[in-house]
Amino acid sequence: MKAPADLLLLPQWVVPVESEGTLADHAVAVQDGRILDVLPAGAAQARYAAAQTIALPGQALIPGLVNLHGHAAMSLMRGFADDLPLMAWLNGRIWPAEKKHASDAFVRDGTLLAAAEMLAGGITCCNDMYFFPQAAGEAFLQAGMRATLGILVLELPSAYASDADDYLARGLAMRDALKEEPLLGFAFAPHAPYTIADATFGRISTLAEQLGLPLHTHIHETADEIQASLKQYGVRPLERLARLGLLGPNFIGVHAVHVNDAEIDLLAQHGCHVAHCPTSNLKLASGIAPVAKFAAAGINLGLGTDGAASNNRLDLFAEMRLAALLAKGASNDAAALPAAAALKMATLDAARALNLDDRIGSIVPGKRADLVAVDLHALSSQPVFDPVSHLVYVAGREDVTHVWVDGKLKLDDRRLVGLDTDDLTARAAYWRTKLTA
């Protein structure tokens, strides 16, 4: 008698990520939202009586991509403030617009728009940092997407909170309200060393340790940030955070562009993670992170898109390719960041930074069924010598055909499931009018 399964997927290749290479003509069985089995296709059809079987000829099945750093609601500011350096971008355009327009409604609509874009491009989980995180969480749940919600902290007042204590209180209340949702996780998200006082960092460090949550912050994004820290505190930002006890296995440093060898050693010694955002770093002229040195030091690296206001795409296929090419060019080593490592950065390594690697990031029995099918049979993809190489250097998000989150179909033959694209377009147009008024 055959064993039951909810879903049997029959791609040409399975890319487990946890182990090197690909499995040709294998199947993945899914039951109750988790991966039940990975085995040869013939054996799978003999062993399982599936409620639904989907053949995916010419396609590679990969784990859902994990976006390690983003500001989802900023999708409503896509193209709003282009071609500016970071501080002019923030002070002159972004922060004034957020002060005037940020609200529950803005965040809900922007996050829903971002979730639709990410799901359509194979991103099944993201690590988000923005105002009104409960509204963001509700939008991610509406889209059926996995997310880690940042407990945002700033010293500066905003439409969301008045001071650091208020940010923390609101963020912790958000966590209490949503902590039973299986698709949602939480992280402390102090914005950056230049917007957070020592006392606030100390409180966040204590809370993060007590609650066992990751700590996610921008760090060493620009040379100006480092000079300002030297002037105000007498030390560079990473050294300041080390003295405050923030560095450790739960620390995710975003950008980490301007780091010296001693700081790379510091991150490695403390078991920290880095969220590498190559497109945003280039677009804001922040620089190129020393990815090859990070990898050589054993630092866990994940990929992030940053927000659509500074990218302007939420596209991890583009980030994988750019990250690999930049690492090679910056290090003068063509072997730096090979395709398999870039794919791992966008899946299992990013999941590890969020303490989710026991649940997502690779295709192995027991993990949640966050899965993505990528079409490699187009003429522009021929011939296929190595599917992993093609996923990084050839394929794009337009080649994603199917997406499952927790075993639930979210993209069906390139069509979003459960999201009204016309409604999302109308909401985006509404906010464009508000922002340009």
Residue 408: pLDDT band with limits 50, 70, 90: very high
The predicted pLDDT at position 130 comes to 97
The predicted pLDDT at position 132 comes to 98
pTM given for the model: 0.98
The CATH architecture that domain 3-63+369-406 belongs to is: Roll (2.30)
Half-sphere exposure of 414 (CA within 13 A, CB side): 7
Statement: residue 1 has pLDDT above 90: no
The predicted pLDDT at position 95 comes to 86
Q: Taking residues 288-314, what's their average pLDDT?
A: 97
Write the pLDDT tens digit of every residue in 331-344.
Answer: 999 999 999 999 99
Q: How far is CA 334 from CA 41, 237, 297, 338, in A?
A: 36, 32, 18, 8
More confident residue, 1 or 406: 406
Q: Taking residues 200-217, what's their average pLDDT?
A: 97
User: CATH 2.30.40.10 spans which residues of the chain?
Assistant: 3-63+369-406
Write the pLDDT tens digit of every residue in 141-196.
Answer: 999 999 999 999 999 999 999 999 999 999 999 999 999 999 999 999 999 999 99
Write the pLDDT tens digit of every residue in 30-88.
Answer: 999 999 999 999 999 999 999 999 999 999 999 999 999 999 999 999 999 899 888 89
The predicted pLDDT at position 209 comes to 95
User: CATH 3.20.20.140 spans which residues of the chain?
Assistant: 65-353
Q: Taking residues 274-300, what's their average pLDDT?
A: 97
The predicted pLDDT at position 87 comes to 85
Number of H-type helices and E-type strands within the chain: 17, 17
Statement: residue 19 has pLDDT above 90: no
The predicted pLDDT at position 89 comes to 86
Nearest-angstrom CA–CA distance, 33 and 63:
14
Residue 368: pLDDT band with limits 50, 70, 90: very high
Tell the burial category of 53 from Cβ atoms under 10 Å away from its Cβ (0-12, 13-18, 19+).
middle
The CATH architecture that domain 65-353 belongs to is: Alpha-Beta Barrel (3.20)
Peptide bond into 312 cis (omega under 30): yes
Statement: residue 289 has pLDDT above 90: yes
